[in-house]
Structure 1
Amino acid sequence: MHIEQQLLDKVNIWLNSPVFDSETQEKIKEMMTSSPKELEDSFYKNLEFGTGGMRGIMGVGTNRINKYTLGKNTQGISDYLKKSFPGEALKVAIAYDCRHNSDTLAKVVADLFSANGIKVFLFSDMRPTPELSFTVKHLECHAGIVLTASHNPPEYNGYKVYWQDGGQLVPPQDHEIIQTIEALQYDQIRFEANNDLIEYIDTAVDEAFINSAIENGSFNTSASAKENLKIVFTSLHGTSIKLVPDVLEKAGYTNVAIVKEQAEPNGDFPTVKSPNPEEPEALTMALALAEKTGADIVIGTDPDSDRLGVAVRNAEGQLVLLNGNQTMVLMTHFLLEQWKKQGRITGTEFIGSTIVSTPMMLELADVYGIECKVGLTGFKWIAKMIKDFPQQKFIGGGEESFGFMAGDAVRDKDAVTATLLVCEIAAQAKANGSSLYEELLQMYVDFGFYKEHLISITKKGIDGANEIKQMMSDLRNNPLEEINGERVIFVEDYQNSTTRNMFTGETGTLDIPKSNVLIYYLEDGSKICARPSGTEPKIKFYFSVNARIESLDEIAAAEEFLNAKIENIITGMNLS
Structure 2
Amino acid sequence: MIEPLYEEWLKHTRTDSELHEELLSVKGDAKAVEDRFYRELSFGTGGLRGVLGAGTNRMNVYSVGKATFGLAAYLLKQAGEKKSVAIAYDSRIKSREFAFTIAEIFSSKGIEAYIFDELTPTPVLSYAVRKLKTTAGIVITASHNPKEYNGYKVYNSKGCQITDEAAADITAEIARFGYFETYEKDESLIHVLNDEIKNAFLSEIYSLSLFPDCGDYAPKVVYTPLNGTGNKPVREILAKLGVKTLSVVPEQEAPDGSFATCPYPNPEEKAALSLALALAKEKNAELVLATDPDADRVGIAVRGENGEYRLFNGNETGVLLEKYILERRQEKGTLPPSPVVVKTIVTTDMATDIAKTYGAAVKEVLTGFKYIGEAIDALADERSYIMGLEESYGYLVGRHARDKDAVSAAMMIVEMAAYYRSQGKSLIDALEELYEAYGYYTTSLFSKTYKGKSGKEEMDAVLAGIRREPWKKLLGRPVLAFKDYLQGIEGLPKSDVLSFRGEGFRVIVRPSGTEPKLKVYFQVKEKTAEDSQAFVSALVASVAEMV
The answer to whether structure 1 residue 129 and structure 2 residue 122 are counterparts is yes
Equivalence for 2:241? 251
The answer to whether structure 1 residue 534 and structure 2 residue 513 are counterparts is yes
Equivalent in 208, 211, 234 of residue 216 of structure 1: 208
Contact 1:14–1:25 (8 Å) recurs in 2: no
Q: Give distance in 1, aligned partners of 2:44 and 2:347.
A: 18
Contact 2:451–2:516 (8 Å) recurs in 1: yes
The answer to whether structure 1 residue 277 and structure 2 residue 267 are counterparts is yes
Equivalent in 534, 542, 546 of residue 564 of structure 1: 534
Equivalence for 1:544? 523
Equivalent in 277, 280, 283 of residue 287 of structure 1: 277
Cα distance, 1:332 vs structure 2: 1.1
Q: Give distance in 2, aligned partners of 1:25 and 1:210.
A: 39
3-state DSSP class of the match of 1:243?
helix
Cα distance, 1:346 vs structure 2: 4.0
Equivalence for 1:7? 2
Name the CA shift for 1:409/1:315 in 2 (closer, same or farther; >3 Å). Answer: same
3-state DSSP class of the match of 2:239?
helix
Counterparts in 2 of 1:131-530, with a 5 A limit?
Answer: 131-186=124-179, 189-220=181-212, 222-226=214-218, 229-392=219-382, 393-497=384-488, 509-522=489-502, 524-530=503-509
3-state DSSP class of the match of 1:225?
coil
Equivalent in 63, 67, 78 of residue 84 of structure 1: 78
Cα distance, 1:421 vs structure 2: 0.5
Equivalence for 1:38? 32
Cα distance, 1:267 vs structure 2: 0.7
Structure 2 regions of 5+ residues with no counterpart? Answer: none
1:325-379 CA deviation, whole Å, 9 max, x = no partner? Answer: 1111111111111221222334422111111111111112222212111111111
Contact 1:277–1:309 (8 Å) recurs in 2: yes
Cα distance, 1:126 vs structure 2: 0.7
TM-score if structure 1 supplies the norm length? Answer: 0.91
1:425-453 CA deviation, whole Å, 9 max, x = no partner? Answer: 10111111001111111111222221100
1:498-536 CA deviation, whole Å, 9 max, x = no partner? Answer: xxxxxxxxxxx43211111111111x1300011111111
One-letter code aligned to 1:440: L
Contact 1:51–1:377 (8 Å) recurs in 2: no
Contact 1:397–1:406 (8 Å) recurs in 2: yes
Cα distance, 1:261 vs structure 2: 1.6
3-state DSSP class of the match of 2:401?
coil
Q: Give distance in 2, aligned partners of 1:250 and 1:363.
A: 33
Cα distance, 1:210 vs structure 2: 1.2
Name the CA shift for 1:248/1:281 in 2 (closer, same or farther; >3 Å). Answer: same
Cα distance, 1:301 vs structure 2: 0.8
Contact 1:360–1:450 (8 Å) recurs in 2: yes
Q: Give distance in 2, aligned partners of 1:28 and 1:298.
A: 40
Cα distance, 1:12 vs structure 2: 5.0
Cα distance, 1:394 vs structure 2: 1.4
Name the CA shift for 1:437/1:68 in 2 (closer, same or farther; >3 Å). Answer: same
Between the two proteins, what is the percent identity of the paired residues? 38
Q: Give distance in 2, aligned partners of 1:381 and 1:42.
A: 32
One-letter code aligned to 2:299: G
Contact 1:130–1:305 (8 Å) recurs in 2: yes
Cα distance, 1:462 vs structure 2: 1.1
TM-score if structure 2 supplies the norm length? Answer: 0.95
Equivalence for 1:93? 86
Name the CA shift for 1:544/1:315 in 2 (closer, same or farther; >3 Å). Answer: farther
3-state DSSP class of the match of 2:362?
strand
1:548-574 CA deviation, whole Å, 9 max, x = no partner? Answer: 5xxxxxxxxx11101111122123324
Cα distance, 1:25 vs structure 2: 8.0
3-state DSSP class of the match of 1:396?
strand
Equivalence for 1:552? none
Equivalence for 1:551? none
Name the CA shift for 1:29/1:137 in 2 (closer, same or farther; >3 Å). Answer: closer
1:259-291 CA deviation, whole Å, 9 max, x = no partner? Answer: 112111111111123111110011111111111
One-letter code aligned to 1:303: P
Q: Give distance in 2, aligned partners of 1:298 and 1:375.
A: 30
3-state DSSP class of the match of 2:386?
strand
Contact 1:127–1:242 (8 Å) recurs in 2: no
1:7-43 CA deviation, whole Å, 9 max, x = no partner? Answer: 3354455456x69856588457625624322211111
3-state DSSP class of the match of 2:64?
helix
Contact 1:311–1:319 (8 Å) recurs in 2: yes
One-letter code aligned to 1:69: S
Contact 1:217–1:417 (8 Å) recurs in 2: no
Name the CA shift for 1:264/1:342 in 2 (closer, same or farther; >3 Å). Answer: same
One-letter code aligned to 2:514: T
Question: Size of the alignment, in residue pairs?
Answer: 545
Name the CA shift for 1:296/1:212 in 2 (closer, same or farther; >3 Å). Answer: same
Name the CA shift for 1:25/1:378 in 2 (closer, same or farther; >3 Å). Answer: closer
Contact 2:213–2:242 (8 Å) recurs in 1: no
Contact 2:143–2:292 (8 Å) recurs in 1: yes
1:72-131 CA deviation, whole Å, 9 max, x = no partner? Answer: 1111111111111342x1111111111111111111001011111111111111111111
Equivalence for 2:545? 575
Equivalence for 2:47? 53
1:453-496 CA deviation, whole Å, 9 max, x = no partner? Answer: 01111111112111211111121111111111100111111123
Contact 2:485–2:498 (8 Å) recurs in 1: yes
Name the CA shift for 1:323/1:28 in 2 (closer, same or farther; >3 Å). Answer: closer
Contact 1:315–1:438 (8 Å) recurs in 2: no
Moved more, 37-46 or 424-433: 37-46
